[in-house]
Amino acid sequence: MMKPVCVVSGAAGNLGLALVKTLQRHFFVEAIVRTEQSSSEKLHYNQLDLTDEDAAQKFVMNCVQKHKKIQAAALVAGGFEMGDLSDSNYTAIEKMLSLNFKTAYTLIRPVYQHMQTSGGGNIIVIGSKTAHQLETGGFAVAYTLSKAMLINLAQILNANRKESKVTIHVIVPGTIDTPDNRQSMPNADVSKWVTPETLADKIVELSASPFNLEAQTLHTFY
């Protein structure tokens, strides 16, 4: 029996690596990476620039042609940059919007449209604590704005769930326990951080969840 298909962006990052490993137990994974990697029986790597909207659209069309249906998409590509208002010119804003919002939106649009006509599905994106609690985001204005846009997009699309049968889930972590974060915050209490494996388990659960009109949009981990 063919496994259901899940698209994963940011598959080579700290969270993406944990996610792909866990997803393969339940899904065939179409993973998106920046540099070419070797595929396997349960996993196919796709080298793709997600800021190229036409390329992202073509990728989704190819997946549909290949598999007939995409059941889930876990879009975890992104990045972080500090900077308060005085440090954040519009170039900084555009950088974070491109990295965190555009890389998700170029996939959300064609995947959502496909799911609308194929019986529904689940799309998972990564928000942030600062975007959930905006008053805490002053130290990272551009980053917070980009993540807040993802949360707002999810709420806009979920307002139409009764017709679309598509749910956008937003994972809202605090600090993720990664080597980079440990290096940049050597004196932090890491016991309060969330591991990539914990987030991966939740994303897999949401990816496989049946349609529920009352399902919550935000899933917090802090």
| pLDDT(206) > 90 | yes
Which phi and psi angles does 213 have, rounded to 5°? Answer: -60, -25
The predicted model gives 27-51 an average pLDDT of: 94
Least confidently predicted of 37-46, 71-80, 178-187: 178-187
The residues with which 172 forms a beta bridge, in sequence order, are: 220
Query: DSSP letter at 33?
Result: E
CB under 8 A, 24+ apart: contacts of 91-97: 92/142, 93/141, 93/142, 93/145, 93/146, 95/142, 96/142, 96/143, 96/145, 96/146, 97/142, 97/145, 97/146, 97/149
Kindly state the average pLDDT of the residues 133-149: 97
Answer whether residue 161 shows pLDDT above 90.
yes
What is the reported pLDDT for 36?
Answer: 85
Q: Please tell me the class of the 5-221 domain.
A: alpha beta
Contact between 125 and 150 (Cβ < 8 Å): yes
CB neighbour list of residue 79: distance below 8 Å, 6 or more residues apart = 96, 99, 100
Confidence of residue 38 (pLDDT cuts 50, 70, 90): confident
Strand, coil or helix: what is 43?
A: strand
**pLDDT for the residue 5:** 98
**Tokens matching residue 26:** 């339940």
Dist. CA 40–CA 29, nearest whole Å: 10
Per residue in 73-123, pLDDT (tens digit) is 999 999 999 999 999 999 999 999 999 999 999 999 999 999 999 999 999
- Contact by Cβ (8 Å): 132, 172: yes
Q: With a cut of 80, say whether residue 172 has pLDDT above it.
A: yes
pLDDT band with cut points at 50, 70 and 90 for residue 1: low
Q: Is 16 helix (H, G, I), strand (E, B) or coil?
A: helix
Hey, what are 118's tokens? 């194929």
Q: Which residues pair with 72 in a beta bridge?
A: 6, 122
Which parts of the chain fold into alpha helices (H)? 14-23, 53-67, 90-96, 103-117, 129-132, 141-158, 161-164, 179-184, 196-207
Q: What is the pTM of this model?
A: 0.96
Name residues whose C-beta falls within 8 Å of residue 118's C-beta, 6 or more positions apart in sequence: 69, 70
Tokens of 213: 């009109």
Polymer length in residues for the chain: 222
The token duo for 113 is: 């449209």
The pLDDT of 162-166, averaged and rounded, is 98
What was the pLDDT predicted at 180?
A: 85
Q: Name the DSSP letter for residue 136.
A: G
pLDDT at 173: 95
